[in-house]
Amino acid sequence: MKASASLHFKTYLLILLMVIFGPLGNVLLGKGMKRIGAASVGTPAQALDLLSRVLASGTIWLGIGSLITFFVAYMLVLSWADYSYVQPASSVAYAMVALLAHFMLREAVTPLRWMGVLVICLGVLVVGHTPPRTTEPT
Amino acid sequence: MRELIFYLLIIGAGTGGELCVSRAMKAVGEVKDFRPAALIRVAARALQVPWMWLGLTLMGTAFFALLAVLTMENVSLVVPVTALSYAAGALGGKFFLGEQVTRRRWAGVLLVCVGVALVIMGRR
């Protein structure tokens, strides 16, 4: 019983980290890439030029740092929890992305899109009440 | 059209990569020690699993596709569209990792997908 409670605690804690740093990373990447402009990767020279501009952007590096934090939390939680549990649970991240895009990047989020975000969160609530592990530890 | 290819890469390579990485982490075993030195040992062990390398390559591909599409579209559209991978993820969890996906969990995933569809329809 105690082991199960602690399993749930560390699962939720790491999912919380994922839900904060994943969306933050995506929004920072979006901000950085918008500033760089439409990608044209027709030739290797163009691709290299784009890559060098990407790597010169501080915003993008911040985004990459956030995503690495997200990724480490994700890896750790996947060492014991089911992928099909973690992936839907982490979809709270979609609400975070909409909020951050709206408030940090001033993106126009339509009412229908907010509704979609709410439905996603509802789906997450349904998913959140299933057990974190269905396969036997090996 | 070009955007469609990028979206397919994000969803396909991203989900495939996550499944491979998940499989690799299951092979590594449950992480119980969160001290930095122990975490480094976990990382070293994880990198010895071939699934991890395949997964990282696929996720890297998805990452660059994401960067490309973000130059053209808003984050509040791109990220929800990538959630189409949920159906693929649940199927992959079931058939590739042998996880039991309960009916309730399927219902949640379905709701999430409906939400994603609304987000796409809410495009201005």
pLDDT tens for residues A23-39? 999 999 999 988 887 66
Q: Calculate the average pLDDT of chain A.
A: 83
pTM over 0.80: no
User: Which of B67, B114, B120 minimises the CB distance to A33?
Assistant: B67
Please compute the mean of the pLDDT values over residues B102-111 and round it to a whole number.
84
What does DSSP assign to residue A136? Answer: P
Please compute the mean of the pLDDT values over residues A5-20 and round it to a whole number.
88
Chain B residue at shortest CA distance from A36: B71
Burial B6-38 (b: 16+ CB within 10 A, else e): bbebbbbbbbbbbbbbbbbbbbbeebeeeeeee
pLDDT tens for residues B67-76? 888 888 888 8
pLDDT bracket for residue A123 (50, 70, 90): confident
Please report the DSSP string for B6-67 in residue order. HHHHHHHHHHHHHHHHHHHHHHH------SHHHHHHHHHHHTTSHHHHHHHHHHHHHHHHHH
| B112/chain A closest Cα distance in angstroms | 4
User: How many angstroms separate the Cα of B121 from the Cα of each of A82, A112, B81, B117?
Assistant: 31, 7, 11, 6
A12: nearest Cα among A134, A136, A128: A128
| Cross-chain residue pair A123–B110, CB shorter than 8 Å | yes
pLDDT tens for residues A52-87? 888 899 999 999 999 999 988 988 888 888 876 776
Q: Which residue has 């993820």 as its token pair?
A: B89
Residues 6+ apart with CB under 8 A from A115: B118, B122
pLDDT bracket for residue A94 (50, 70, 90): confident
Please tell me the distance from the alpha carbon of residue A60 to that of residue A54, in angstroms, as a whole number. 7
Q: Token pair for residue A107?
A: 């993106």
Q: What is the pLDDT of residue A129?
A: 60
Q: What is the pLDDT of residue A1?
A: 46
